[in-house]
Amino acid sequence: MSANQAQLHNQGISSQSGLEAVIRRMTTEARVIDMHTHLYAEAFSEHLLWGIDELLHYHYLTAEFFRHTDLTYDEYWSLDSASRAEAVWQTLFVDRSPISEAASGVLTALNRLGLSPAQYGRDLNAYRAAFAAKSASQQVSDVLEAAKVQRIVMTNDPFDSKERTVWQSGSGKSDPRFDAALRIDKLLLDWPAAAHDLRGQGYAVEDDASAPATLQEVKRFLQDWAVRMDALYIMVSLPGDARYAAGDASHTLTVLLDGAVIPVCLKLGLPLALMIGVRRQVNPLLKLAGDMSMRSDLSLLEGIAKRYTNLELLITVLARENQHELAVLSRKFRNITLFGCWWFLHTESMIRELTEFRVELLGTSFIPQHSDCRVLEQLINKWEYSRGILADILIHKYGRLLKDGWELTEADISRDVEAYFGGTFLRVLENAKRNRIAAP
């Protein structure tokens, strides 16, 4: 930064309109670290989803499509990818207005990529032709640029054999814009199947998860994969009724957390990320779109946070009913960092409601958003909406400071915006590294 720029940066902001302009500019321009997505670097080939057809049969839109169609589930699932996209386009975008969050988001992404519906109209093939001219690597760069996203954290599953091959070939970390997160739902929620899989991968585990030799092997598995992936954190998504039953050797989830997962997090200096409150497969006929939210018993989180004060916890919950409680709990435990408006909460009205009271209760000490994108181009609309809503809230909150005579500079705002869009996440990672403890 030149001396002139630095001076400008430290210039006081004296009016509400000046404040608004600065906040809009900074929230629009901030380069984001997206700390949880289901996007993949190109090396993961078919795991990287992009393009108009993928956008259309994304699982959020699948659920909406079935509210209108006469097709049976079997008929829909027997269609190929292109025909599913056509059915969704016709049903949700042509026969009806695409005003839901997921549908309108597609139009925002298209528009920002230069494919304005004003020009391309309602002919799906016109959009397809434009996408066909792109390569995957060009599209990754263009979308990251358009969305102003600098780093993406993937969701990496060591139980997925295709993914494993990529990691074992050494190409999993070939794109520095993509970081890994070690995802272990199968280990914690389906131990018998995970144990079988682990044995296949050369880890000598028994059916009884609590056997000391088995826990030792689970630790070895986790450590091997966390190191191979250079994972930033270890993550699981849990049903709302998941319990933490300290001292109960028959409770597999607790045994695995206490005996393997948390020791590995502490040894490697990695946060544990918990996404709590999903009820999987309420309607299995919808496949990936068939999951539901459920209220959570946050005593699980309280128990872990209290027992492991050195463990950094990244937490999000799915039920709207749990949001305020989680924000309050975060005030009580400095090792809890709340993140994102997850899944069904990633809508304009929910983001506004949640973000507003989180700022009120937690100041800048939380991570307002992650995208959870599964299709590359969604980064554009998801981040654009979130930036705008955060800006509205900050304009109001900083406005109160101005009114009360607090001197604000551009540097103050830039520091806080940076914390919201990546700085707080990086601080959690640093804290976890600092808290690393020697563990067997």
Instruction: Report the interface residues with ligand RAT, using CB under 6 A.
Output: 38, 237, 275, 343, 372, 374
Burial 355-388 (b: 16+ CB within 10 A, else e): bbebbebbeebbbbbbbbbbbbbbbbbbbbbbbe
Select the binding partner of residue 370 from Zn ion, ligand RAT, none (C-beta < 5 to 8 A, by kind).
Answer: none
Select the binding partner of residue 374 from ligand RAT, Zn ion, none (C-beta < 5 to 8 A, by kind).
Answer: ligand RAT
Minimum Å gap between C-beta 318 and ligand RAT is 9
Identify which of residues 124 and 270 has a Cβ nearer to Zn ion in the complex: 270
Identify which of residues 291 and 416 has a Cβ nearer to ligand RAT in the complex: 291
Identify which of residues 24 and 38 has a Cβ nearer to ligand RAT in the complex: 38
Decide: is 157 part of the binding site for Zn ion (CB under 5 A). Answer: no
Identify which of residues 27 and 322 has a Cβ nearer to ligand RAT in the complex: 322
Site residues (CB under 5 A) for Zn ion, limited to 339-378 = 372
CA contacts within 13 A on the Cβ side of 366? 28
Which residue minimizes CB distance to ligand RAT? 237
Minimum Å gap between C-beta 38 and ligand RAT is 6
CA distance 330 to 362: 8
Minimum Å gap between C-beta 288 and ligand RAT is 6
Minimum Å gap between C-beta 245 and Zn ion is 26
Select the binding partner of residue 20 from Zn ion, ligand RAT, none (C-beta < 5 to 8 A, by kind).
Answer: none
Select the binding partner of residue 371 from Zn ion, ligand RAT, none (C-beta < 5 to 8 A, by kind).
Answer: none
Minimum Å gap between C-beta 201 and Zn ion is 24
Minimum Å gap between C-beta 36 and Zn ion is 6
Cα 31 versus chain centre, distance: 16
Identify which of residues 23 and 49 has a Cβ nearer to ligand RAT in the complex: 49
Identify which of residues 239 and 303 has a Cβ nearer to ligand RAT in the complex: 239
Decide: is 20 part of the binding site for Zn ion (CB under 5 A). Answer: no
Identify which of residues 6 and 288 has a Cβ nearer to Zn ion in the complex: 288
CA distance 277 to 142: 34
Q: What angle do CA 123, 124, 127 make, to 5 degrees?
A: 100
CB 277 within 8 A of CB 322: yes
Select the binding partner of residue 151 from Zn ion, ligand RAT, none (C-beta < 5 to 8 A, by kind).
Answer: none
Q: What angle do CA 194, 181, 251 make, to 5 degrees?
A: 40
Identify which of residues 316 and 330 has a Cβ nearer to ligand RAT in the complex: 316
Strands 336-338 and 408-409: unpaired
CB 187 within 8 A of CB 209: no
Select the binding partner of residue 343 from Zn ion, ligand RAT, none (C-beta < 5 to 8 A, by kind).
Answer: ligand RAT
Give me 411's structure tokens. 């540097």
Which residue minimizes CB distance to Zn ion? 372
Minimum Å gap between C-beta 38 and Zn ion is 6
CA distance 298 to 194: 26
Identify which of residues 22 and 235 has a Cβ nearer to Zn ion in the complex: 235
Identify which of residues 124 and 234 has a Cβ nearer to ligand RAT in the complex: 234
Select the binding partner of residue 219 from ligand RAT, Zn ion, none (C-beta < 5 to 8 A, by kind).
Answer: none
Sheet holding 313-317, edge to edge: 182-183, 234-238, 272-276, 313-317, 336-338
Give me 280's structure tokens. 């999987």
Helix axis angle, 378-403 to 410-418, nearest 10°: 140
Minimum Å gap between C-beta 189 and ligand RAT is 11
Minimum Å gap between C-beta 406 and ligand RAT is 38
Other CB atoms within 10 A of residue 312 CB:
26
Minimum Å gap between C-beta 37 and ligand RAT is 9
Give me 210's structure tokens. 């609590």
Residues in contact with Zn ion by CB under 5 A are: 372
